[in-house]
Chain A
Amino acid sequence: MEHGNGWARDIYGVFKAHEIAIVSYVPDAGHRELIALCEADDAIRVVPLTTEEEGVALAAGAHLGGRRAALLMQSSGVGNCVNMFSLITACDFPFLTLVTMRGEFGEFNPWQVPMGQAVPATLAAMGLIAQRAADPDEVGEVVDGAARLAFHSSRGVAVLLAQRMIGAKRFTEGR
């Protein structure tokens, strides 16, 4: 069993390597440690949102100004973003989002299941590329590849962080 949340630190390391300057979020327990790491970093502007689509538009504006942004959200937030993803696809903006999944592995809340199950199809429908990370040891590598795809090839890319991986962590930390 890992001490703490190793993969969150790996993602933070990827953010630093790619010079991510703005991290926006609607919180999820699975993103808690990564949000705390970003908040402790003076070189990262952390922007809490009222709804996830704000973070899509924010990332587009940041790119216009020459800085890189990332959006952290839970799977339910993907549905809130749908029309705003037009901005990414229509203008070929680089865009990176990390999505903590609900509604897939051992979900106890039935209301999380419809949007959670619809995430891959929703992203695909709007022209975003989805990549999945399910093993804590591979998260850093997957996010690094997604960041390169987003920022070097100017694509919208979502990393889906598997609920099975996040859920195991929740049990060990007792929330």
Chain B
Amino acid sequence: MTDGPQLQRRAVVRTLLRDRGELLVVAGLGATAWDLASLGDDPRDFPLWGAMGGAAMVGLGLALAQPTRTVLVLTGDGELLMGLGSLATLAAQRPRNLRLVVLDNEHYGETGRQPTHTARGADLATVALACGFPQARTVRGEDEVAALREELHAGDDLSLAVVKVALTDDPLTLPPRDGSYLKHRLRGVVLGPRAGFQ
């Protein structure tokens, strides 16, 4: 494993979300949702506990509904592979306030570490570009992660970044499980006191 990806997913997420301001985050199920929760429970987060393949589209809906806020979809390679067509749908809409970051450890880490297609050559950044994303790239180095954090906040167009991360065992940090609670809490952040009336 020494010549595999070296970046640590928890550290990557911590760097990307440092001083996040009003950034809203939708996290795909499994490890990325636990990564997000490792930073603390936050009302600006919508971590998924299911709906595999749906994270990017939840992000699109939120981004279209709130065009003045930046929305980050944080997900894993397995989750995005299940909804690969959504990359074409996102590119066709091209919401300028939506960013995707894929923490790619090339494995289904939650289910026995079976390799995903990215371990066998599938290149998600190239797929995104081929779907029409204006920007997409793969990040492998520590210094690139800091630069990516700046781009997430300062960028003004749809983008995708694949961050190659090590296959690690991280402490289990779980967000709240009640989807209705997570929903109402995020709507409170986004809509304020009128959230309960619409």
Contact = CB atoms under 8 A, between A and B. Distances in A.
A48 B89 contact: yes
Task: Report the 3 A-B pairs with minimum CB-CB distance, sorted nearest first.
Answer: A61-B61, A65-B65, A50-B85
Interface in A72-98: 83-84, 86-87, 90-93
B137 interface: no
Nearest to A50: B85
Contact of B51 (A50, A51, A87): A87
A115 interface: no
Contacts of B111: none
Nearest to A91: B179
Given A87-B51, A87-B179, 18 more contacts: A22-B65, A48-B92, A51-B85, A54-B86, A57-B56, A57-B57, A58-B58, A58-B61, A59-B61, A61-B62, A63-B65, A64-B186, A64-B187, A67-B65, A69-B61, A84-B53, A87-B54, A90-B50
20 contacts: A22-B64, A47-B64, A48-B89, A50-B86, A54-B86, A56-B57, A57-B51, A57-B55, A60-B54, A61-B61, A61-B63, A62-B65, A63-B61, A64-B186, A65-B64, A65-B190, A84-B54, A87-B51, A91-B182, A92-B179
A53 interface: yes
A66 interface: yes
Contacts of A48: 89, 92
Nearest to B26: A61
B86 A64 contact: no
A66 B64 contact: no
Given A45-B64, A50-B85, A65-B66, A57 B58 contact: yes
Interface residue tally on A, bucketed by range: 20 to 34
Most chain A CB inside 10 Å of its own CB: which residue of B64, B83, B85, B198: B64
Interface in B68-107: 83, 85-86, 88-89, 92-93
A128 interface: no
Contacts of B93: 45, 47
Given A54-B86, A54-B89, A62 B51 contact: no
A131 to B, nearest CB: 23
